[in-house]
Amino acid sequence: MINVGIIGGAGYTAGELIRLLVNHPQANIVFVNSSSNAGNAVASVHGGLTGECDLLFTDQLPLESIDVLFLCSAHGDSRRFLEEHQVLEKYPSLKIIDLAQDYRDESNGFVYGLPEKNRERIAKSSRLANPGCFATCIQLALLPLAAAGLLEDEVHIQAITGSTGAGVKPSATSHFSWRNDNISVYKAFQHQHLIEIGRNLRLLQPDFDKDINFVPMRGDFARGIFASVYTRCKLSQEEAGKLYKDYYKSAAFTFVTPDNIDMKQVVNTNKALVHVEKHGDKLLVLSTIDNLLKGASGQAVQNMNLMFGLEEKTGLRLKNIAF
């Protein structure tokens, strides 16, 4: 069994992670740390866990008793936590999976945890930086082109996300009365995930020097991301389809389909669906994921499986909502 510890246990990503791990055949949750909820039942904060586990939140850190530590705190807190407790120095054999953005630049020996790009490196790693949700969805739409050196012009992206992407703390733009029956743009052309998207595409295609234009949108639904990406491309429809099929042929959760896709096909699963269409001299790529699963906690468990030599889909054979 893999003994697990979780830091920042009260948020959405931690809740999804716990729901996955309590049903994972090789995982044993040793502790869920949350100083603000210490002593409270985990099920009292994360709905749906009643009858699934009797875990209590704790403010203790028995790091010596675990094999892997998941960091589910806010951006910036992961680095502070590891430095304050000297985790990297005191527990050199402890595997770490960070769901924040602190180490997505692969500093301090962390590996960027997008299996469709770095599967072999992830399997050999002990420190893992889980990708961002928008970054995962958008990169899956563009990796095959970058790997083939076929990004030759500006990339244009419009992607919409559910309210859970804003985190568990309520805000004006996640309040039901505002979000319901509403749609809006935010952080146009300056979303923080552009940094990791650009970095990883250029690692695959170093000569790519064009703009990546990204317009993120808030949707009036709870979970999921749907991205529409287009760029000029010389490939025919048949060539593009074959390129994408070949690139993802060994991917455990990413599937290329000739049929148009919709978000409900992936919500509540760790799957990603990709669809390509040629329109004149432009290639349109549609990509969709569940932001809390393939975009966060599901991908984190997928990475844990790889790091511990387990079959990649272990504990992640989930059903989509369908209706």
**269 and 179 fall within a common domain:** yes
**26 and 160 fall within a common domain:** no
Q: What is the pLDDT, as a whole number, of residue 169? A: 77
**143 and 119 fall within a common domain:** no
Is the alpha carbon torsion for 22, 28, 31, 33 positive or negative? negative
Q: What is the pLDDT, as a whole number, of residue 40? A: 95
Residue segments in the chain with a per-residue pLDDT below the cut of 50: none
Catalytic residue check, 233: no
Q: What is the pLDDT, as a whole number, of residue 165? A: 85
Strands of the sheet with 212-218, listed across from one edge: 184-185, 212-218, 155-161, 225-232, 282-289, 272-279, 254-256
**98 and 162 fall within a common domain:** no
CA distance 92 to 278: 49
**174 and 243 fall within a common domain:** yes
Domain CATH for 123: 3.40.50.720
**85 and 194 fall within a common domain:** no
Residue 106, in any domain of the structure: yes
Which residues are bridge partners to 296 per DSSP?
Answer: none
Q: What is the pLDDT, as a whole number, of residue 323? A: 84
Residue 312, in any domain of the structure: no
Q: How many CB atoms lie within 10 A of CB 276?
A: 25
**283 and 137 fall within a common domain:** yes
Residue 315, in any domain of the structure: no
Residue 322, in any domain of the structure: no
Q: What is the pLDDT, as a whole number, of residue 173? A: 87
**279 and 170 fall within a common domain:** yes
Task: Label the pairing between strands 27-33 and 2-7.
Answer: parallel
Residue 313, in any domain of the structure: no
**111 and 66 fall within a common domain:** yes
**155 and 54 fall within a common domain:** no
Domain count, the chain: 2
Residue 316, in any domain of the structure: no
Q: Look-up: residue for tokens 């210490």?
A: 38
Q: Look-up: residue for tokens 């004149």?
A: 280
CA torsion angle 107 195 222 25 (round to 10):
-30
Q: What is the pLDDT, as a whole number, of residue 71? A: 98
Q: What is the pLDDT, as a whole number, of residue 44? A: 95
Residue 143, in any domain of the structure: yes
**239 and 140 fall within a common domain:** yes
Domain CATH for 227: 3.30.360.10
**98 and 170 fall within a common domain:** no
Residue 75, CA distances (Å) to 94, 256, 290 in order: 21, 32, 20
- Show the domain range for 156: 133-289
Residue 267, in any domain of the structure: yes
- Give residue-wise pLDDT tens across range 126-151: 999 999 999 999 999 999 999 999 99
Q: What is the pLDDT, as a whole number, of residue 175? A: 84
Q: What is the pLDDT, as a whole number, of residue 158? A: 98
- Give residue-wise pLDDT tens across range 212-248: 999 999 999 999 999 999 999 999 999 999 999 999 9
Catalytic residue among 53, 72, 133, 233: 133
